[in-house]
Amino acid sequence: MERDTILLVDDSEIICSIIKDILESPDLHIEIAHTGEKGIRMARELRPTLILLDIIMYGMDGYETCKILKKDEETKDIPIIFITGNNDSNSLLKGFEVGAADYVSKPFIAEELKARVKVHMQNIKNQRKLQILMEELRELAITDSLTKLYNRRYFLDKINDLVKMDTIFSLILFDVDYFKSINDTYGHNAGDLVLTGLSQIFKLILREEDIISRWGGEEFMICLPNMAVEEAFKVAEKLRLEVSKFEFQYEDNTFHCTITGGIAEYEAKLPVDRNITKIDFALYTGKSSGKNCCILA
């Protein structure tokens, strides 16, 4: 089980020992620093889930320590609970002004300390879950659920960005040959296997900056930034040959498939739909010419 870490910054060894005994558990680890300077260094190194910070310490006090932590990009989002013997309103207000999320009064009650820490730890866990959910929703919005490649909408957004940056780029549109026959012969799961397999082949061969999308059905559109059409044709041919050599295995069946491609350099003076029509026509020409080939628009 992964343990959360609390960083305790207090110059009193006795206080640190008491708090550690109260809070440490199988899922919660306590690290200790006895000065503000060391607390800042440890916060940067450990990235704790929560910081308990004494206000009155020798050298750098808790207020100054908190200010520095909240200005640092690496530590600014870590919640800080002040441990304080000063319960007057000015001291507490100053603590919140420098970025504290909460405070615990000294001498503290063990159950109160546990309760305050528990509330903040739960808030942090809820934020983590929300971040994960938001990331999953973002992925769903921009990717194809089967192949995990970018979807058509996101792909069009990306090439629109390239046009705005006045970047030269080429496009390749691939279509799987005889895809209906694969589905009819081996079943739709075999067809899905082909689509995911092709996705992996494209990812392995293409550059990191290349943009790969599932255009729809058994079609894939690839954008090659900073690449003229002659070089793009070579890339398309390499992909076509690699696919033709690949052996797909589904249940007890082994089979090959081929792809046909249309290639064009994007013309910024033309609207996007005209560019797509141009490459679509090149693909259609290849399909009409016997398939398993690449055609320049």
Note down pLDDT in tens along the chain; length 297 residues. Answer: 568 899 999 999 999 999 999 998 888 899 999 999 999 999 999 999 999 999 988 889 999 999 999 999 999 989 999 988 776 677 778 888 998 888 888 887 888 888 888 888 888 888 888 888 888 888 888 899 899 999 999 999 999 999 999 999 999 999 999 999 999 999 999 999 999 999 999 999 999 999 999 998 999 999 999 999 999 999 999 999 999 999 999 998 999 999 999 999 999 999 999 999 999 999 999 999 999 999 998
Domain shared by 69 and 35, yes or no: yes
- Decide: residue 82, CB within 10 A, 0-12 exposed, 13-18 middle, 19+ buried: buried
**Nearest Cα to 8, choosing from 184, 38, 27, 213?**
38
Q: What is the pTM of this model?
A: 0.65
H or E element that contains 294 = strand 294-296
Strand locations in 92-168 (E)? 102-105
Burial class, 203, CB count within 10 angstroms (exposed 0-12 / middle 13-18 / buried 19+):
middle
Task: Tell me how many helices (H) and strands (E) the chain has.
Answer: 10, 12
Indicate if 97 and 215 belong to the same structural domain: no
Q: Is residue 288 part of a domain?
A: yes
- Asked which of 140, 161, 191 is the last residue of a domain, the reply is 140
CATH number at residue 129: 3.40.50.2300
**Domain limits at 131?**
4-140
Same domain, 166 and 131: no
Q: Which of 45, 73, 218, 237 is catalytic?
A: 218
Annotation marks residue 247 as catalytic? no
Could you give the 3-state DSSP secondary structure of residue 195? helix
